[in-house]
Amino acid sequence: MKLLGVGGSAREVGVSGRLLDACLGVAEKGGWETVKYLVAGRDIAGCRGCLACEKTGRCVLSGDEAWRFYEEVVPGTDAVLMVSPVYFMGVPWSLKRLVDRAQVLYSRRVRGGRYPERGFSALILVSGTAERGSLAGPRRVLRSFLRELGYPCEYEGWLDAYEARPEALPERVAGLSEDFGRFLGRKMGAGG
């Protein structure tokens, strides 16, 4: 079973990246093959809004990094773990570029009438504050993105306000990743 871990932060090394690594480590111990994909530093072109995909079912930017993600990285994946920070009540621009390019998937679904069914997903958000309201936007965006990819979200986690207690971060990262591992274990037990 293959798990794709997507990191949404604009920086390669941060709290969400650390959490992603811990979760992938736990998954590997549970027998999963893992692939990590960080959006940071990648040359992902933003959607131009031309809506050509509505007519043709294809994106005019085909061949770039977002296209590679959809055509080469995702296929063959049984589950997706998305770990992303909250930026201004939303998702980082780095990740939003990738998300917006899923408009071509939306267009194909609307034409074909069905979501793809590829597997399941998990979403873990990281925020500097403990303000639950700041999760509403990222949750809607990323759950909808994961659904469009063909991996409905079945697990959610949240690492909040870590700056207030930095000394507790290692323990909290370990606790969240172990909880995610238990979720994966239940999915495996239930036949995936």
Q: Which residues bind ligand FMN (CB under 6 A)?
A: 9, 11, 14-17, 85-89, 126-129, 131, 134
Helices (H), 40-135: 52-56, 65-68, 93-100, 103-112
Q: Whole-number minimum distance, CB 17 to ligand FMN, in Å?
A: 5
Of 11 and 36, the one with the shorter C-beta distance to ligand FMN is: 11
> Which helix H or strand E contains 37, and what residues bound it?
strand 33-38
Chain residue whose CB lies nearest ligand FMN: 14
Q: Whole-number minimum distance, CB 89 to ligand FMN, in Å?
A: 5
Of 26 and 91, the one with the shorter C-beta distance to ligand FMN is: 91
Task: Return the structure tokens found at 28.
Answer: 């590997």
Cβ-contact 82, 148 below 8 angstroms: no
Of 5 and 17, the one with the shorter C-beta distance to ligand FMN is: 17
The CB-based long-range contact list for 58-63 (8 Å cut-off, 24+ gap) reads: 58/104, 59/101, 59/103, 59/104, 61/101
Of 113 and 166, the one with the shorter C-beta distance to ligand FMN is: 166
